[in-house]
Structure 1
Amino acid sequence: MSLLMTTADAETGRPRITRVACRPSGSRYLAYAPDGDSPWYRDLLVSPQATLEIDGVPHAARAVPLEGEKRGFALHLLEVDAARGRAIADQLLVHHGELRKTLAAARAELDGGPVADRSGLRRELLGHCVTFCNDLRMHHLREDGAFTAIEKAHPGLAPALKRLRQEHETVSRALRDLDELLQGGGEVESAALREEFERVVNGLEEHFAYEEANLLPALRGTGTMSP
Structure 2
Amino acid sequence: MPNDFNQQIIEEFRANAGEVGGPFEGARLILLTTTGARSGERHTTPVAYYADGDGDVLVIASAAGAPKHPDWFHNLVAHPRVTVESGAFTYEATAEVLAGTARDDAFARAVEADPGWADYQARTSRVIPVVVLHQIPSDGPPNVSASSMGQYMQLIHDAFRRELALIRAEIGNAGPTLGAQLRINCLTFCQGLHNHHTGEDIAMFPFLADSHPALAPVLDRLREEHERIAELTAELKQVISANPEGTAGPADPADPADPVDPQHVRKEVERLTAALEAHLTYEEQQLIPILDAPAGAAGPAH
Q: In the alignment, does 2:292 pair up with 1:220? A: yes
Question: Once the 2 structures are TM-superposed, how far is the Cα of residue 125 of structure 1 from its aligned partner?
Answer: 4.1
CA contact (8 A) 1:125 1:182 kept: no
Contact kept, 8 Å, 1:88 with 1:219, in 2: the verdict is yes
Structure 1 residue corresponding to 2:140, chosen from 32, 48, 55: 48
Unaligned runs of 5+ in 1: 1-10, 15-42, 51-85
TM-score by length of 1: 0.58
Equivalent of residue 116 in structure 1, options 175, 181, 185: 175
What's the offset of the Cα at 1:12? Answer: 2.5
1:178 alignment counterpart:
236
Match of 1:167 among 225, 233, 244: 225
CA distance in 1, matches of 2:139, 2:185: 23
Measured at CA, do residues 124 and 44 of structure 1 come closer, stay the same or move farther in structure 2, by a change above 3 Å? Answer: closer
Match of 1:150 in 2: 208
Displacement of 1:193 after TM fit? 2.1
The answer as to 2:185 corresponding to 1:128 is: yes
Q: Work out whether residues 13 and 134 of structure 1, in 8 Å CA contact, stay in contact via their aligned partners in 2.
A: no
Q: Which residue of 2 aligns with 1:87?
A: 148
**Alignment pair present for 1:196 and 2:268:** yes
CA contact (8 A) 2:168 2:266 kept: no
> Which one has more relative contact order, counting CA pairs under 8 Å at least 6 apart?
1
Distance (whole Å) between structure 2 residues aligned to residue 45 and residue 198 of structure 1: 33
Asked whether the 8 Å contact 2:54–2:188 carries over to 1, the reply is no
Identity in percent: 32
Give the Cα–Cα distance (whole angstroms) in 2 for the partners of residues 210 and 125 of structure 1. Answer: 29
Residue 176 of structure 1 deviates from its aligned partner by 0.7
For 1:135, give the aligned amino acid. Answer: G
Letter of the structure 2 residue corresponding to residue 46 of structure 1: S
Aligned length: 150
Give the whole-Å Cα distance in 2 for the aligned partners of 1:164 and 1:117.
37
CA distance in 2, matches of 1:48, 1:12: 19
Residue deviations 1:48-105, cap 9 Å, x none? 249xxxxxxxxxxxxxxxxxxxxxxxxxxxxxxxxxxx82211111110111111111
Equivalent position amino acid for 2:278 in 1 = E
Aligned CA-pair RMSD:
2.8
Larger Rg: 2
Distance 1:176 1:137 in 2: 10
Call closer, same or farther: CA 1:199–1:45 in 2, change over 3 Å: closer
Q: In the alignment, is the contact (CA less than 8 A) between 2:218 and 2:301 conserved in 1? A: no
Q: 1:49 to 1:220 in 2, by over 3 A?
A: closer
Instruction: Give the TM-score taking structure 2 as reference length.
Output: 0.45
The answer to whether residue 288 in structure 2 is matched with residue 210 in structure 1 is: no
> Who is 1:141 aligned against?
198
Question: CA offsets, 1:175-201, max 9 Å, x none?
Answer: 011101110113665433211111111
Question: 4+ residue stretches of structure 1 with deviation over 3 A?
Answer: 122-125, 187-190
Unaligned runs of 5+ in 2: 1-52, 57-134, 246-259
Of Structure 1 and Structure 2, the greater strand share is in 1
Contact in 1 for aligned 2:286/2:301 (Cα 8 Å): yes
Distance 2:171 2:183 in 1: 12
Cα-to-partner distance string for 1:12-71 (whole Å, 9 max, x where unaligned):
249xxxxxxxxxxxxxxxxxxxxxxxxxxxx99514249xxxxxxxxxxxxxxxxxxxxx
| Secondary structure in structure 2 of the residue aligned to 1:128 | helix
Query: What is the one-letter code of the residue matched to 2:290?
Result: A
